[in-house]
Chains A and B, each alone.
Chain A
Amino acid sequence: MQSEHDAVLLQQRQTFRRGSIQLLVVATVITICSIYVGLFDGARLAEGIPSMISLIGEMFPPDFQNARDWVEPLLDTLAMSVAGTALAVTFSVPLALLAARNTTPHPVVYQVARAILNGLRSIPELIMGIIFVAAVGFGALPGVLALGLHSIGMVGKFFAEAIEHVDEAPVEATRAAGANGLQVIWHGILPQVLPQMADVSIYRWEYNFRASTVMGMVGAGGIGFELMGSLRIMQYQEVLAILLVILVMVTMVDALSAVLRRKFK
């Protein structure tokens, strides 16, 4: 009896020791990374604190004097996010059908479509923004193209995954009624994945709105352009005002997106 208890307790101790070692390894990795990037550089941080405080001090009170000039860039940003998402969804549907195992016409097409989606996803939208600004000039258009193209990578992948997880039974029934391949996709598969597609698209729109506030920084239109301008001439009171406006807009878009997504359940 006694020895049995001892065996159980020994095992318990060993489990605890193993857990401790694992925790120690993770903590070490985190510490090394933090030291490497200078997070523990006390002197430098201490030096920074006064200038941070003075910077924050310079931001107050927020200056809304030029607020009227921000209306148009804000609308630009909103339009960019909507148009960019629409662009992404338009190209995502056909790409997803090629990149889903159950609808792809050929395994090679499947691999190519997946590669395209991965490629688009791995180029950051800011980089795409810089490229498109160089290609078509300043303004909202390069921003829309950058947001749209980058979004295809994620939206298309999610669409493809939804298509792959579709219930095969009604699809078979559609086929049994004499429907051809495209009719089966249109009437057997798409009605099933529509709610997920709507969900992903609306979420992506919300993301694109946040992303498009940054797009202005590379000259691709929107409120980010104003933000960058104020930062350059060190109008920190105006910077804070713009940031507050963006915060309000993002909150509103988030709320609207949540309502829309619930509707599509």
Chain B
Amino acid sequence: MIRLNQVSVTYPGGFTALHPTDIEFRRGEFTVLLGASGAGKSTLLRCLNYLNVPSSGHVHVEGIGELKRRSALLAHRRRTGMIFQQHQLIGRLSALRNVLTGRLGYHGTWRSLVPLPPEDQRIALQALDRVGLMAKALERVDSLSGGQQQRVGIARAIAQRPQMVLADEPVASLDPHTSVQVLGLIRGVCAEDHIPAVVSLHQLDLARQFADRIVGIAAGRVVYDGAPAGLSDLHLEAIYRRDPTRSSEATAAPSTTTEFPLNLATEKS
């Protein structure tokens, strides 16, 4: 349903984060992009909704076409829910107001100056209910715990009524127990609604536990693409470029938001 054709990303400093890549993500698949910090998995993921604009190649979306025109991009983003590592919520607003951000794409500029219609409010509340935070709907997001904040982030993506979910290191700043809960939640929602998900992770054990398909990435190239069961020690060595038995070290790798000089570089709006 979304296809990358010879997509590459080179940052202004000259560093190539992603070498020309062809890959397709299909309906109903829970795909994990697996790799060490700085391998390029976030870059690849962010190409899927143009938060990183490819330096070359193009992205083709089923039913929309190529993501070049601004209107096509906005339409694609509206139906693509994104979950971020650092939640990326506005701390002083309520959980509900944060989730309502997911409904903005469905309304014009003028309509969105005033509170959105009751239907949208209800959709947002349902989304919060699905992540089990109905009771916290009117609380300020900065008063919630890290795991709860991430669930608000997931609710925001659900509220978009997405046809695809992207998650960029959604559990990198959570403890192991909460990580399993949050990934389980994302996987459950996607399975229920029959929507594909692309999730970047650096933890091998979590990838094996949740993925239908694993795409291993190292040094800006896809080095493995297949079922978790087919992942051999040789593949792991290629992915982590180190002794596969020491992959727990990769689990403790630092956040990926600092791995590139210009990670937040996006298109001018």
In the complex, are the beta carbons of B109 and A177 less than 8 A apart? no
Q: Is the interface of A mostly helix, strand, loop or mixed?
A: helix
Does B266 sit at the interface, judged by CB under 8 A?
Answer: yes
Does B43 sit at the interface, judged by CB under 8 A?
Answer: no
- Determine the chain B residues whose CB is within 8 A of the CB of A182 once the complex forms: 109
Does B213 sit at the interface, judged by CB under 8 A?
Answer: no
How far apart are the CA atoms of A174 and B90 in the complex, in Å?
10
In the complex, are the beta carbons of A177 and B89 less than 8 A apart? no
Count of A residues near B, CB < 8 Å? 23
- Determine the chain A residues whose CB is within 8 A of the CB of B156 once the complex forms: 173, 177
Does B75 sit at the interface, judged by CB under 8 A?
Answer: yes
Of B99-107, B171-179, B215-223, the one with at least 4 CB within 8 A of chain A: B99-107
In the complex, are the beta carbons of B92 and A178 less than 8 A apart? no
In the complex, are the beta carbons of B104 and A169 less than 8 A apart? no
Count of B residues near A, CB < 8 Å? 33
Does B209 sit at the interface, judged by CB under 8 A?
Answer: no
Does A186 sit at the interface, judged by CB under 8 A?
Answer: yes
In the complex, are the beta carbons of A180 and B90 less than 8 A apart? no
A186 touches which of B112, B153, B264 (Cβ 8 Å):
B112
In the complex, are the beta carbons of A187 and B92 less than 8 A apart? no
B156-189 toward A: CB 8 Å interface, digit per residue (1/0)? 1000100000000000000000000000000000
In the complex, are the beta carbons of B77 and A191 less than 8 A apart? no
A178 touches which of B75, B89, B90 (Cβ 8 Å):
B75
Given known A-B contacts A174-B104, A177-B104, A184 and B93 have beta carbons under 8 A apart: no
Nearest-neighbour CB distance to chain A for B238, whole angstroms, equals: 31
In the complex, are the beta carbons of B82 and A176 less than 8 A apart? yes
Does A118 sit at the interface, judged by CB under 8 A?
Answer: no
A106-130 toward B: CB 8 Å interface, digit per residue (1/0)? 0000000000000000000000000
Given known A-B contacts A180-B74, A180-B109, A192-B92, A172 and B104 have beta carbons under 8 A apart: no
In the complex, are the beta carbons of B160 and A177 less than 8 A apart? yes
In the complex, are the beta carbons of A179 and B88 less than 8 A apart? no
A158-180 toward B: CB 8 Å interface, digit per residue (1/0)? 00000000001110111111111
Does B11 sit at the interface, judged by CB under 8 A?
Answer: no
Nearest-neighbour CB distance to chain B for A142, whole angstroms, equals: 33
In the complex, are the beta carbons of A180 and B88 less than 8 A apart? no
How far apart are the CA atoms of A191 and B98 in the complex, in Å?
10
Residue of B nearest to A190 (CB): B90
In the complex, are the beta carbons of B84 and A169 less than 8 A apart? yes
B 63-112 contacts with A by CB, 8 A: 74-82, 84, 86-90, 92-93, 97, 101-102, 104-105, 109, 112
Which A residues contact B (CB, under 8 angstroms)?
A: 168-170, 172-184, 186-188, 191-192, 194-195
Q: List 25 A-B contacts (CB under 8 A).
A: A168-B264, A169-B87, A170-B90, A172-B84, A172-B88, A173-B82, A173-B88, A173-B153, A175-B51, A176-B77, A177-B101, A177-B102, A177-B105, A178-B76, A178-B105, A180-B74, A182-B109, A184-B269, A187-B101, A187-B104, A188-B90, A188-B101, A191-B90, A191-B97, A195-B92
Known pairs A174-B101, A175-B269; list 10 more (Cβ under 8 Å).
Answer: A169-B87, A170-B88, A170-B90, A172-B51, A172-B88, A177-B82, A177-B105, A179-B105, A186-B113, A188-B101
